[in-house]
Structure 1
Amino acid sequence: MLTEGEIRALTALHGEQTVSELATNLDQSLSYTSELVERLETAGLVETRRQGKTKRIRLSDAKALELLTDLTQQYSHIDWPELLSGAALRVCYYLDTPRTATELARRADVHRSTVHRALAPLQHRGIVYQTDDGAYALNDGFEQLSAFARELAHHVHRQTVEEQTDTYTILWESLDEFLVQTPTEVIDEHFTPTGPDQFQRYSLPLLARDRRYYLYSTATSEPSPEMLCCHMLVIDSGARTQSYCLLLLSHVDINHDELRAQATKYGVDDVVDELCTYLDTSGAQRPSRLPKWEDFQELADEYEVTL
């Protein structure tokens, strides 16, 4: 997320400084510091202005930097740049709640050994501890560390989508991915279309909307039906959307283990469990917001879906 050098530069910037002054404070060469500043400016974390031939630098108004400043000021005796280098910030993103090394590794997409190695220095400083069942957790007073990692990732996501459009809403996000709504067509290869329009791929045409939905991911080129169902529930979990998801789950060969894994990832596992139970029991177990089985049968007939 950030290198040790970038974090050192951010924590060394107080008020407005020249590149030369920052290089002196960092005890680094002018060329190295200029490169750091260029990267941080591209990331929207610092702002620069020219004063004659001199470039002056200051922190941007990104909320993540407020959290970092509060953290470093409150615990000024801790060498945060060293502790947060490598994979530490990736792992801390998921320490909003106690999690095992296995779960942290899966969510942060790193090896378990990397999790232990990243958190060992934090544990040594009393920032992180392990619960009786072996889960890692942040000690009281250091919860802001996870908030910083999350806000930093959110800032990166905003920077990414703003390269494509000025009007958008991020509906869901994780460390490396996000689901976005926008009225603008996005053609970047990492923005994969999803949402209602994609039901057409399964011969389930839904009413066109004036909004477009995309999953930003460098690992996914096309949403699976399991992902599409979960994306729809994130976009809108109302009764009509749930009925459309029931059509999709009935019409397509679904991997139920994959569906539940995706539901957990997107935070819609309770709703997905209800949908699966509804289909498994032919509507005998039905939350009030779902249609009566005979009404759903009529909808399925309309879309030529065999139940």
Structure 2
Amino acid sequence: MLTEGEVRALTALRGEQTVSELAANLDQSLSYTSELVEQLETSGLVETRRQGKTKQIRLSDAKALELLAALTQQYSHIDWPELLSGAALRVCYFLDTPQTVTDLARHTDVHRSTVHRALSPLQHRGIVYQTDNGAYTLNDGFEQLSAFARELAHHVHRQTVEKQTDTYTILWESLDEFLVQTTTEITEEHFIPTGPDQFQRYGLPLLARDRRYYLYSESTSELSPEILCCHMLVIDSGARAQSYCLLLLSHTSIDRDDLRAQATKYGVDDVVDDLCTYLDTSGDQRTSRLPEWDDFQELAAEYEVTP
């Protein structure tokens, strides 16, 4: 997320400075510091302006930087740039709740040994501790470390989508992925179309809308019906959307284990459990947002789906 050099530059930058002044504060060469500034400007974390022949640098108004400043001021004795380099920030992203090393390795997509290396200095300085059941969690007073990591990821996501459109809403996000709503068509390769209009891929043509939905992911190339169902519920968990998801679950070959894993990832596990129970019991067990079984059968017949 950030290199040690980038964190050092962000924590050393106070008010406006020239590249030369920042280089002196960092005890680094002018060329190295210029590269750092360019990287941070590209990521929207610093702003620059020309004043004569010199370039003035200052921090941007990104909320993540407010959290970083509060953290470094409150615990000024800690060498934060060293601690937050490598995979440490990726690990901290998920420490808003207790997590085992296995959980953290899965969430961050890094090896368990890398997670251990990230946690070890944090544990040594009393920032994290291990619970009796083996999970790691942040000590009291350091909760803002996870908040900083999350806000930094959110900032990166915003920077990514704003290269494509000015009008958008991020509906869901994790460390490396996000689900976005916009009125703009996005053709960049890592933005994968999703939402209601993608149901037609499974023979379920839903009413088109002006709004478009995309999953940004560098690791996913195609949406499974399990993922599409969860996206639909993130976009809209109302009665109509749930009925459409019932059609999708009835019409396609669904891996229930994968569906539940995706539902947990997207935070719609309770709704997905309700949908599965509804189908398994032919509507005998249903929530208020699910249709009477006869009504659902009529809807399914319209789409030539057999519940």
Task: Provide the TM-score with structure 2 as the length reference.
Answer: 1.00
2:208 — aligned with what? 208
Deviation at 1:116, TM superposition (A): 1.1
In 2, Cα distance between the equivalents of 1:125 and 1:171? Answer: 36
Provide the residue aligned with 1:192 in structure 2: 192
Supply the distance in 2 between the matched residues of 1:85 and 1:219 (Cα, whole angstroms).
23
Segments of 5+ residues of structure 1 without an aligned counterpart are none
2:258 pairs with 1:258: yes
Q: Deviation of residue 284 (structure 1)?
A: 0.9
- Residue 306 of structure 1 and its aligned partner are, at CA, apart by 1.1
- The equivalent residue for 2:6 is 6
Spell out, residue by residue over 1:216-262, the C-alpha distance to the aligned partner (whole angstroms, 9 max, x if none).
00111221100000000000000100000000000000011110010
Whether 1:112 aligns to 2:109 is no
CA offsets 1:33-92 (integer angstroms, 9 cap, x no match): 000000000000000010100001000000000000000000000000000000000000
Name the counterpart of 1:15.
15
Distance 2:46 2:82 in 1: 20
Displacement of 1:288 in angstroms is: 1.6
Determine the structure 2 residue equivalent to 1:178. 178
CA distance in 1, matches of 2:171, 2:124: 37
Q: What is the rounded CA distance, in whole Å, between the counterparts of 2:221 and 2:134 in structure 1?
A: 36
Q: Number of aligned residue pairs: give it.
A: 307
In structure 1, C-alpha distance between the alignment counterparts of 2:185 and 2:289, rounded to whole Å: 33
Which runs of structure 1 show a deviation greater than 2 angstroms over 4 or more consecutive aligned residues? none
Other-structure match for 2:38: 38
Residue 305 in structure 1 maps to residue 296 in structure 2: no
Counterpart secondary structure, 1:58: strand
Task: Tell me what 2:85 maps to.
Answer: 85
In structure 2, the partner of 1:273 is 273
**1:165 corresponds to 2:165:** yes
Amino acid at match of 2:277: T
Instruction: Measure, in 2, the Cα distance between the counterparts of 1:107 and 1:20.
Output: 40
Secondary structure of 1:55 counterpart: strand
When normalised by structure 1's length, the TM-score is 1.00
CA distance in 1, matches of 2:252, 2:47: 50
Deviation of the 1:139 alpha carbon: 0.2
Give the structure 1 partner of residue 100 of structure 2: 100
- Percent identity for Structure 1 against Structure 2: 87
For 1:253 and 1:61, the matched residues in 2 are separated by 48
Q: Partner letter of residue 67 of structure 1?
A: L
Pairwise CA distance, 1:185: 0.2
1:228 and 2:228 correspond = yes
**Equivalent residue for 2:290?**
290
Q: Does 1:142 align with 2:164?
A: no
Q: Give the secondary-structure state (helix, strand or coil) at the position aligned to 1:181.
A: strand
Measured in 1, the distance between the counterparts of 2:245 and 2:296 equals: 12
What is the aligned partner in structure 1 of residue 58 from structure 2?
58
1:31 to partner: Cα distance: 0.2
Q: Deviations over 1:253-299 (max 9, x none)?
A: 00111100100000000000010010011111111210011110000
How much has 1:153 moved relative to structure 2? 0.2
Distance 2:281 2:34 in 1: 64
* Aligned residues: CA RMSD: 0.5
